[in-house]
Amino acid sequence: METPTALVTGAAQGLGQEFAAALARRGFRVAGLDIVPQTETAERVLDYVELVGDVTDEHQVRAALERTVDRFGTLHVVVNNAGVYPAGPFEETSLDDWRRVLRVNLEGPFVVTRLALPYLKAAGWGRVVNVASAAVFTAPPDMVPYVASKTGLIGFTRALASALGPYGITVNAIAPSMVRTATAERTVGADGGFERVRDQQAVPRVQEPSDLISTLLYVVDEDSGFLTGQTLNVSGGSTYA
């Protein structure tokens, strides 16, 4: 059997880094795409292609995909993990703020997936995994652009699953709760956000990146070809989700 290859966006740190490392442990060859170098990720993943680029820039994404396939020969899995999640009052949200969130969180997965599609088709089977958010269901009032972008991503997931099913390519979304990462610690978790989310869950602890690994590996498995168009809500049994 051909060794599968995966591309993970936002792979420099946090959830993306954990996803890249987990896929490598499962036997995938891994390429990571981020706007910054991925030194730590590359140290954890032996057979790794480090790609520095913006997921919203078609030219940079195209070059990244070409480099990945030049190195590994094929591509089977795309994990659209890169995202931004600023918080703030809606009335203080500028049009530029709104556009930035929508561009990274929704347009980015569109660009990456569309450009990766010829390689997934050529491989004979493929898995697209979009990292959504349980915030779509809990609807925090200080994250309106973020919730809108992730809601759009779930719709993108469902419609794209219908479009790509005939090619043996599945499309699913994973919706985490608030995951403890360095970025989340600096932003939404800085004022007690982790504790507020934790207190709304059936599982009374903060979600860690490792809590999502088994779900990711299930979704990308070649034998999971009958699961598509779904959003897997991995949020510790939130009372609002």
Q: How far apart (Å, rounded) are the C-alpha atoms in residues 214 and 79? A: 14
Mark whether 146 is an active-site residue: yes
DSSP codes of every residue in 5-53: EEEEES-SSHHHHHHHHHHHHTT-EEEEEESS--HHHHHH-SSEEEEE-
DSSP codes of every residue in 185-212: HHTTTTTSHHHHHHTTSSS-S-B-GGGG
β partners of residue 30: 6, 48
Report percent pLDDT > 90 for the chain: 77
Q: Are 81 and 19 in contact (CB under 8 A)?
A: yes
Amino acid at 36: V
- The per-residue pLDDT for range 43-89, each reduced to its tens digit, is 999 889 999 999 999 999 999 999 999 999 999 999 999 999 888 89
- The per-residue pLDDT for range 26-42, each reduced to its tens digit, is 999 999 999 999 999 99
Asked if pLDDT for residue 241 goes beyond 50, the answer is no
**pTM beyond cutoff 0.95:** no
Please give the structure tokens belonging to residue 142: 């200080």
Mean pLDDT along residues 78-104: 94
Q: Which domains does the chain have, with CATH numbers?
A: 5-233 (3.40.50.720)
Asked if pLDDT for residue 183 goes beyond 90, the answer is no
> 6: which residues sit within 8 A by CB, 6+ positions away?
20, 23, 28, 29, 30, 31, 75, 76, 77, 78, 79, 220
Question: Mean pLDDT for the chain?
Answer: 92
Task: Determine which one of 48, 119, 146, 218 is catalytic.
Answer: 146
Lowest mean pLDDT among 94-98, 164-168, 200-204: 200-204
Mean pLDDT along residues 90-108: 97
- The per-residue pLDDT for range 186-208, each reduced to its tens digit, is 655 556 666 777 767 778 787 78
